[in-house]
Amino acid sequence: MTGYLSLENGTVFKGELGHGSKGPVEGEIVFFTGMTGYQEVLTDPSYKDQIVVFTYPLIGQYGVNECDGESAIPQVKGVIMLHCPDDYSHYQATSSLKDYLHNWDIPYMTGVDTRQVVKTIRDLGSQNACIGHSPLMPSTRKRKGQIAQVASSELTYYGTGSVHVALLDFGVKKSIISSLVKMDCSVTLIPYDRINLLHTLKADALVISNGPGDPKEMAALMPQLKEHILKLPTLGICLGHQLIALALGGDTRKLLFGHRGANHPVIDHGTGRVYLTSQNHNYVVEDESLVETHLKPRFFNVNDGSVEGLQHETKPILSVQFHPEARPGPEDASYIFEEFYQSIKQSGREKIYA
């Protein structure tokens, strides 16, 4: 069945609409450059309400399994691929990608000139798009409120480690929780809108999670967030990184088309080394806005020079724009969790001898 991908700027692409795909659906169109990891992408809450274009020409060859989801359900609005095979091969796979998308009523298109779609996004920026049986122009409205749709609504507990980490949930990925639990941490997951619970949890440290949308939508939380960031060893990941900057007086801006993929080079001026990282974000911290914040840029994107992470001058506060849990992607940056863990231990020793 012929399908149409219509962009906000009026460009229309034709392809094959997946069997049973309903429509029309609208979402912000973005692209992902990784060769693998499509299941993690589809279930990452940071992709809420987005139409994802996969640049690698063959998607779905190893099927979908019960292990690799970053949340319980797919979060995307739609999927665009050049080719998605009916057959798949992997010992853990339980279904094809096509069946998975069909079962969750996620429309998808194949046979689309994905190279030209990506070129259009790179030239004109991320924008709204529509998938349907006919060319239908999407609205130009900005989407809001995705965090409330993907964040948890109640306290949840993980692990039994000796270090108690409070994880403020704005749409956290499962693999972030797993990475903390593996490091001898017990984790209390706190809904973002119940941040006041931090006063009674007696946590040793704070992690601020990833999540979808514009970080400035959380402006009302900044005073409370600042209070806790300055009291506890803190790690911010992706959206959490942006929120730390905003809470301490910095600013953010939207990129033209964002960073999404598993091969983004980042230089760490703390070690002098370059690491390949997994990324998924539309917004970045403005370097010039950090002058009065006591936050210093430590990580930079090698490709465009944008800020990829911050470190406080005197307090154990660290933030990274990329994903150290590396799901999907390379594990180069996993040392960030160990560095955070050691900062918690050091902070505890300082309290004992104070």
Active site residues: 238, 323, 325
CA–CA separation, 101 and 114 (whole Å)? 19
Percent helix, strand and coil across the chain, each rounded to 5?
A: 30, 30, 40
CA–CA separation, 142 and 127 (whole Å)? 9
Distances, alpha carbon 39 to alpha carbons 42, 100, 294, in Å: 5, 10, 39
Q: Which amino acid is at 1?
A: M
CA–CA separation, 30 and 302 (whole Å)? 21
Give the residue carrying structure tokens 């002098």.
272
Which residues, 6+ apart, have CB-to-CB distance to 170 below 8 Å? Answer: 147, 151, 192, 208, 209, 210, 211, 218, 239, 240, 243
Q: In what order do the strands lie in the sheet with 307-312?
A: 156-158, 185-191, 163-169, 205-208, 234-237, 317-320, 307-312, 295-301, 252-268, 273-285
List own/partner pairs for 180-184 with CB under 8 A and 24 or more apart.
Answer: 180/207, 180/337, 183/337, 183/338, 183/341, 184/341
Q: Which of 252, 241, 280, 209 is nearest to 30 (CA)?
A: 280
Structure tokens at 17: 């609409």
Q: How many CB atoms lie within 10 A of CB 92?
A: 11
Q: In the beta sheet, which residues pair with residue 157?
A: 188
